[in-house]
């Protein structure tokens, strides 16, 4: 059996399975990606279950005690005696609790904004591709405009106008990110709409809306999923950046970025834990998401398949 034949048989075998099953199998072929996925699942799990596993609600001022501020990792709580395994921040917040709650905000903002942006961006991209003409021109110039601005600068401008808060941060991220999905969806849809199956559908008298959603969209999904995975990581980083700059969440409800920012001033006085541990949590989350996203890009991109 020569090499060409071997490739062909593998292809045939894979095509016999459902395409998503093939993706799953290929994904699992990379140990690093599997590790990334497991870590990510673990992070999501502890973040979702945070209120039931932490010793303290770090956002409830009643449960904080400023007398416990800046305690080193392993110190005991003054009132009820539980241990601050990762120490406390400048307000006496247990860092384990604060990090888990911070992860909740990060994931919620990251995934939430990525999903909404994906929905809006994809829809506008498809409309742009299918409608063409001035609608296409208008939408794509708008996308060009958005993509040409530095992201942080745009985010600062939008947030300065909207004001702080988790909702506004999400809105800002959606406003900034839909353009990526729109550009990709449009490109993909333009290619797909010239395929025979679209002509065939049109020939059968199927309405344009159904063709777009029912026929073109499913074939545009793989690159959009890849962008989605990477955009989640980007959104989490951006939220952390904005909070670090003081434009994100309220100070009494710190996300990871704000925890890092708050600890920054203590770095020179050797109280490293306030910034370090939230930073590590952020780092691990982003790396895990990126590992998964990278692998998805490999397995979903037909051009990279051998």
Partner 1 sequence: MKPLVRSLLTSALILATGSAAAQTLRIGYADPVSSLDPQLNNYAGDRSVALHAFESLVSRRDNKTLPGLAKSWKVIDDTTWEFALRDDVKWQDGTPLTADDFVFSFERARNVPGSVASYAGSTRTVESVKAKDDHTLIIKTRTPNANLLPDVDSIYIVSRHAGADASSADYNSGKAMIGVGPYRFVSYVPGDRTIFERNDSYWGAKPTWDKVDYRFIANAANRTAALLAGDVDVIDKVSPTDVERLRNTPGVNVYAYQGLRALIIQPSFREGPNEFIRDNAGQPLPENPLRDVRVRKALSLAINRQAIDERIMQGTVTEANQWMPANTFGYNPDVKNIAYDPKQAKELLAQAGFPDGFQLTVHVPGDRYPQAPEAMQAVAQFWSRIGVKVQLEVLPWAVYAGKANKNELAVSVIAWGNGTGEAAYALTNILTTVDSSKGQGASNWGRYSNPLVDKALVDSTAEFDEARRRKILQDSVKVVSDDVGIIPLFHYQNIWAARKGLKVEPLVSDRTAATMVTELP
Does residue 61 belong to the site contacting partner 1 (CB under 8 A)? yes
- Cα–Cα dist 285/107, whole Å: 9
Nearest to 256 by CA among 113, 89, 112: 89
User: Which residue among 91, 106, 172, 237 contacts partner 1 (CB under 8 A)?
Assistant: 91
Task: Please select the residue that binds partner 1; options are 49, 119, 267, 280, rule is CB under 8 A.
Answer: 267
The torsion of the CA quartet 205, 221, 235, 94, rounded to 10 degrees, works out to: 120
Binding mask 21-50 for partner 1 (x = CB under 8 A): ------------------------------
2 or 269: CB nearest partner 1: 269
Query: Which of these segments, 4-12, 31-39, 60-68, 151-159, binds partner 1 (CB under 8 A)?
Result: 60-68
Q: Which is nearer to partner 1, 44 or 276 (CB)?
A: 276
Q: Confirm or reject binding of residue 62 to partner 1 (CB under 8 A).
A: yes
272 is a contact residue toward partner 1 (CB under 8 A): no
Q: Which stretch binds partner 1 (CB under 8 A): 175-183, 186-194, 226-234, 258-266?
A: 258-266
Counting Cα atoms < 13 Å in the Cβ hemisphere of 137 gives 2
For partner 1, give the closer residue by CB, 79 or 196: 79
Measured distance CA(158)–CA(248) in Å, rounded: 11
Burial (0-12, 13-18, 19+ Cβ within 10 Å), 22: middle
80 touches partner 1 by CB under 8 A: no
- Nearest approach, Cβ of 262 to partner 1 (angstroms)? 8
The neighbour count for residue 213, using CB atoms within 10 Å, is 12
The region of 13-21, 108-116, 120-128, 265-273 touching partner 1 under the rule CB under 8 A is 265-273
User: Using an 8 Å Cβ cutoff, are 47 and 107 in contact?
Assistant: yes
Residue 306: C-alpha distances to residues 17, 169, 268 (Å): 17, 41, 52
Near partner 1 by CB under 8 A, which window of 45-53, 109-117, 137-145, 267-275? Answer: 267-275
Measured at the CA of 218, the angle between CA 213 and CA 224, to 5 degrees, comes to 105
Nearer to partner 1, 64 or 291 (CB): 64
Closer residue to partner 1 (CB): 227 or 249: 249
Q: How far is the CB of 279 from partner 1 (least distance, A)?
A: 16
Binding mask 145-164 for partner 1 (x = CB under 8 A): -------------------x
Sequence-distant (≥ 6) Cβ neighbours of residue 150 within 8 angstroms: none
What are the Cα distances from residue 227, in Å, to 102, 146, 151, 182, 294? Answer: 24, 17, 16, 11, 10
Q: Which stretch binds partner 1 (CB under 8 A): 10-18, 105-113, 259-267, 293-301?
A: 259-267
User: Residue 129 in contact with residue 186, Cβ under 8 Å?
Assistant: yes
CB 236 within 8 A of CB 285: yes
Q: For the CB of residue 181, give the shortest distance to partner 1 in the complex, in Å.
A: 32
> Which residue among 17, 191, 265, 301 contacts partner 1 (CB under 8 A)?
265
Instruction: Give the whole-angstrom CA distance, residue 276 versus residue 271.
Output: 9
Q: What is the CA radius of gyration of the chain?
A: 23
Chain contacts with partner 1 (rule: CB under 8 A): 61-62, 64-67, 69-70, 90-92, 164, 246, 250-252, 264-271
């Amino acid at each position: 059996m020569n090499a060409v034949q071997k490739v062909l048989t593998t292809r045939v075998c894979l095509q016999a399975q459902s395409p998503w099953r093939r993706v799953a199998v290929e994904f699992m072929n990379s140990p690093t990606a599997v590790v990334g996925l497991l870590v990510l699942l673990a992070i999501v799990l502890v973040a979702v279950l945070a209120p039931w596993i932490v010793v303290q609600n770090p956002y409830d001022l009643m449960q904080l005690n400023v007398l416990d501020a800046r305690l080193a990792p392993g110190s005991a709580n003054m009132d009820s005696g539980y241990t601050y395994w990762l120490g406390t921040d400048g307000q006496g917040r247990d860092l384990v609790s604060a990090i888990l709650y911070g992860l909740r905000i990060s994931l919620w903002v990251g995934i939430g904004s990525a999903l909404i942006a994906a929905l809006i961006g994809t829809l506008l991209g498809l409309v742009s591709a299918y409608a063409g003409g001035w609608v296409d021109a208008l939408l794509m110039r708008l996308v060009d405009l958005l993509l040409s601005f530095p992201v942080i600068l745009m985010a600062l401008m939008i947030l300065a106008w909207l004001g702080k808060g988790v909702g506004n941060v999400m809105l800002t991220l959606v406003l900034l990110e839909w353009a990526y999905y729109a550009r990709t969806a449009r490109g993909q849809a333009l290619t797909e709409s010239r395929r025979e199956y679209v002509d065939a559908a049109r020939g059968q008298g199927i309405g344009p809306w159904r063709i777009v959603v029912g026929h073109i969209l499913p074939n545009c999904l793989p690159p959009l999923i890849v962008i989605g995975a990477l955009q989640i990581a980007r959104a989490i980083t951006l939220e952390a950046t904005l909070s670090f700059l003081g434009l994100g969440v309220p100070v009494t409800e710190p996300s990871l970025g704000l925890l890092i920012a708050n600890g920054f001033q203590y770095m020179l006085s050797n109280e490293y834990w306030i910034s370090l541990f939230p930073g590590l949590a952020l780092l691990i989350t982003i790396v895990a998401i990126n590992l998964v996203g990278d692998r998805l890009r490999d397995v979903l991109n037909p051009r990279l398949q051998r």
